[in-house]
């Protein structure tokens, strides 16, 4: 599992990264429809061999049309009831004066993918990649999306170096860094102190698993021992770097970031908080966070038990002007379109990037992800003490057994699981390894370049809006 750890040396940029987006930038408005047969958007099969298509009924042969969605709206002047923010979606009525607006401006203002999140960040697409891999982050940022680098397992010095590494490659474009700031973490506690509080019964159970599966001992320093959630002072030291470096977006994946709002805003940093409950969102919105990530049960990593559909809709309904970013199980353009229809201003995605070409995730895990469907994931508190969605592995399954002790709270369970997790990774034991994975993993079927993932998602989302409103004759 790679929640943390220093990614390997940067790989050369994929040639695709120099290409402009074929969807928006290169197709002049008014040109004949740009049709193509991208394998992502023609009818295809999922991992169970069933037809999946965003563009037509199962089995029909459909050429996907993305840019024409805009062209159509411009030409037919019928857009406002169909696009996000229009009356049909619960948005405000269009100012009648807009009817006089030149056609091209109409087109831009009706772009369903141009949301207030895009305005907040100055980015083209409302797609946020959460990743631990700097190469993935840079590829997404340079493709018009936004990326947040997970740094919760890194020392302050490593975080500083990673921020510089990204800045050197994104030409001034914004990016974010994610930490975990759980209020439940002890204020100050050494590794030995935490370890000494683990009950003997739990140690014995861990040892039983280690022996039963012949789990190798870690070869490298254990990543999880750097986890910012182990104690408050570790998390604070990481946070100091983000403030000093004036990172454009500081995200908290665990724990409310309300306490850092003043310090962050003074330095021009935006603050985002990730929530699994509507009441948490309400508190954060009232405190003044700049965006809330509403994440559902489907998600990879730490997540609550409220479904994505429910939490995104509920949080969007109370958000006012605060952008809501939907998370949990989002791996296709149809998910993106659906999230926008629920009232979100963008999507926050993790699993989607794990198997991409730039990703530094072990090839063993990439292959498992490409083959996996939602059934291969499980929701378990046996790894960190917080409920978390990961690929099933012997560790998660052993802790579900009726005779297993009840997993400990964080951070004790995290320390207890750390030798298994890292030993499995260092030994490259396919039978033991796990990784955080969301229920949308069934649609991760190829190891595509990150840039291609962004474009496919954009195109498929636009195609989905086409489907909903119907294509012009
Ligand atoms: C491999 C992996 C590691 C993750 N580690 C973290 C983490 O360290 N901090 C965090 O806030 N979220 C972490 N997450 C959760 C993501 O931020 C995100 O909320 C989640 O992936 C969204 O669900 P999805 O994977 O279904 O898109 C991780 C996700 C994955 C896939």
For residues 1 and 421, the answer to whether their CB atoms sit within 8 Å is yes
Q: What's the CA-to-centroid distance between 335 and ligand 1, angstroms?
A: 17
pLDDT at 83 over 90: no
- Interatomic CA distance for residues 149 and 89, integer angstroms: 33
Q: What's the CA-to-centroid distance between 390 and ligand 1, angstroms?
A: 10
Q: Higher pLDDT residue, 468 or 70?
A: 468
Q: What's the CA-to-centroid distance between 127 and ligand 1, angstroms?
A: 14
Q: Does domain 15-184+229-357+438-469 have CATH number 1.10.10.10?
A: no
378: closest CA among 360, 394, 367? 394
**Over residues 451-462, mean pLDDT:** 98
- 117-131 residue pLDDT tens: 999 999 999 999 999
Closest atom of ligand 1 to CA, residue 153: 8
> How high is the pLDDT of residue 48?
55
- Percentage of residues of the chain with pLDDT beyond 90: 67
* CA-nearest residue, atom 14 of ligand 1: 301
Closest atom of ligand 1 to CA, residue 152: 8
Q: How far apart, in Å, are the Cα atoms of 194 and each of 21, 153, 197, 238, 455?
A: 50, 17, 5, 20, 45
- 411-454 residue pLDDT tens: 899 999 999 999 999 999 999 999 999 999 999 999 999 999 99
pTM for this one?
A: 0.80
**Over residues 171-198, mean pLDDT:** 88
Which 3 state secondary structure label does DSSP give 436?
strand
Which 3 state secondary structure label does DSSP give 448?
coil
User: From the CB of residue 93, how many other CB atoms can be counted at a distance below 10 Å?
Assistant: 8
For residues 459 and 41, the answer to whether their CB atoms sit within 8 Å is yes
> How high is the pLDDT of residue 373?
98
Closest atom of ligand 1 to CA, residue 253: 11
DSSP 13: P
Q: What's the CA-to-centroid distance between 255 and ligand 1, angstroms?
A: 14
- 185-210 residue pLDDT tens: 777 778 888 899 999 999 999 999 99
* CA-nearest residue, atom 11 of ligand 1: 253
pLDDT at 92 over 60: no
Closest atom of ligand 1 to CA, residue 293: 19
> How high is the pLDDT of residue 233?
85
For residues 405 and 205, the answer to whether their CB atoms sit within 8 Å is yes
Q: Which of 192-201, 346-355, 364-373, 442-451 has the lowest mean pLDDT?
A: 192-201
User: From the CB of residue 232, how many other CB atoms can be counted at a distance below 10 Å?
Assistant: 19
- 61-74 residue pLDDT tens: 333 333 334 433 33
- Give the strand pairing for 270-275 and 35-36: unpaired
| Mutate-to-test residue for ligand 1 from 5, 128, 150, highest number of ligand atoms within 8 A of CB | 150
- 9-56 residue pLDDT tens: 333 333 333 333 333 433 333 332 222 223 333 334 456 555 444 333
pLDDT at 403 over 70: yes
36: closest CA among 66, 70, 73? 66
Burial of 229 (0-12, 13-18, 19+ CB in 10 A): buried
* CA-nearest residue, atom 18 of ligand 1: 350
Q: What's the CA-to-centroid distance between 219 and ligand 1, angstroms?
A: 25
Most confident of 27-41, 75-89, 96-110, 390-404: 390-404
Closest atom of ligand 1 to CA, residue 251: 11
Mean pLDDT of the chain: 81
- Interatomic CA distance for residues 162 and 172, integer angstroms: 15
Bridge partners of 270, per DSSP, are 249
Q: Which of 28-32, 217-221, 318-322, 359-363 has the lowest mean pLDDT?
A: 28-32
Q: Higher pLDDT residue, 15 or 136?
A: 136
pLDDT at 405 over 80: yes
- Percentage of residues of the chain with pLDDT beyond 70: 76
Ligand 1 shell residues, CB under 6 Å: 3, 130, 150, 152, 178, 180, 253-254, 295, 298-301, 327-330, 348-352, 354, 435-436, 438, 440
* CA-nearest residue, atom 1 of ligand 1: 436
- 226-257 residue pLDDT tens: 777 778 888 899 999 999 999 999 999 888 99
Greatest alpha-carbon pair distance for the chain in Å reads 75
Q: Which of 34-43, 198-207, 324-333, 384-393 has the lowest mean pLDDT?
A: 34-43
- Interatomic CA distance for residues 336 and 346, integer angstroms: 7
> How high is the pLDDT of residue 50?
55
* CA-nearest residue, atom 12 of ligand 1: 253
Q: What's the CA-to-centroid distance between 408 and ligand 1, angstroms?
A: 21
| Mutate-to-test residue for ligand 1 from 300, 329, 377, highest number of ligand atoms within 8 A of CB | 300
Q: What's the CA-to-centroid distance between 303 and ligand 1, angstroms?
A: 9
> How high is the pLDDT of residue 74?
31
Domain boundaries, the chain: 15-184+229-357+438-469, 191-214+360-426
């Amino acid at each position: 599992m790679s929640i943390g750890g220093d990614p390997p040396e940067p790989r050369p940029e994929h040639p695709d990264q120099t290409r402009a987006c074929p969807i928006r930038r290169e197709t002049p408005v008014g040109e004949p429809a740009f049709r193509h047969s991208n394998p992502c958007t023609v009818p295809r099969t999922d991992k169970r061999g069933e037809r999946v298509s965003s563009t037509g009924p199962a089995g029909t042969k459909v050429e996907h049309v993305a840019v024409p969605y805009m062209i159509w709206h411009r030409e037919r002047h019928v857009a406002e009831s169909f696009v996000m923010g229009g009356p049909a979606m619960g948005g405000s009525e269009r100012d009648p004066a807009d009817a006089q607006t030149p056609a091209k401006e109409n087109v831009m203002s009706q772009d369903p993918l141009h949301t207030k999140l895009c305005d907040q960040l100055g980015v083209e697409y409302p797609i946020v990649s959460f990743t631990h891999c700097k190469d993935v982050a840079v590829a997404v940022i340079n493709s018009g999306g936004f990326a947040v680098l997970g740094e919760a397992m890194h020392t302050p010095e490593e975080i500083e170096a990673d921020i510089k590494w990204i800045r050197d490659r994104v030409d001034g474009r914004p990016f974010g860094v994610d930490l975990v700031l759980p209020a439940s973490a002890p204020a100050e506690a050494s590794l030995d102190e935490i370890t000494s509080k683990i009950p003997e019964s739990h140690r014995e159970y861990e040892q039983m698993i280690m022996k039963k599966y012949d789990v190798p001992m870690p070869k490298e320093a254990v990543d999880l021992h750097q986890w910012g959630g182990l104690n408050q002072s570790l998390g604070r030291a990481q946070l100091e770097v983000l403030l000093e470096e004036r990172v454009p977006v500081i995200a908290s994946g665990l724990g409310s970031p309300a306490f850092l709002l003043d310090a962050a805003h003074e330095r021009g940093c935006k603050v985002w908080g990730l929530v699994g409950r509507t009441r948490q969102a309400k508190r954060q919105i009232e405190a003044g966070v700049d965006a809330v990530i509403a994440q559902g049960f489907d998600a990879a990593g730490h997540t609550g038990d409220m479904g994505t559909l429910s939490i995104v809709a509920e949080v969007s309904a109370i958000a006012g002007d605060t952008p809501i970013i939907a998370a949990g199980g989002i791996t296709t353009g149809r998910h993106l379109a659906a999230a926008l229809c629920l009232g979100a201003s963008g999507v926050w995605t993790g699993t989607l990037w794990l198997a991409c070409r730039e990703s530094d995730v072990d090839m063993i895990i990439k292959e498992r992800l490409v083959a996996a469907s939602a059934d291969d994931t499980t929701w378990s508190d046996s790894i960190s003490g917080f409920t978390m969605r990961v690929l099933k592995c012997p560790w998660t399954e052993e802790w579900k057994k009726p005779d297993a002790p009840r997993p400990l709270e964080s951070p004790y369970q995290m320390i207890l699981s750390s030798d298994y997790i890292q030993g499995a990774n260092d030994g490259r034991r396919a039978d033991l390894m796990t990784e955080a994975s969301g229920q949308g993993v069934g649609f991760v079927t190829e190891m595509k370049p990150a840039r291609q993932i962004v474009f496919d998602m954009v195109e498929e989302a636009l195609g989905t809006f086409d489907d909903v409103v119907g294509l012009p004759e």
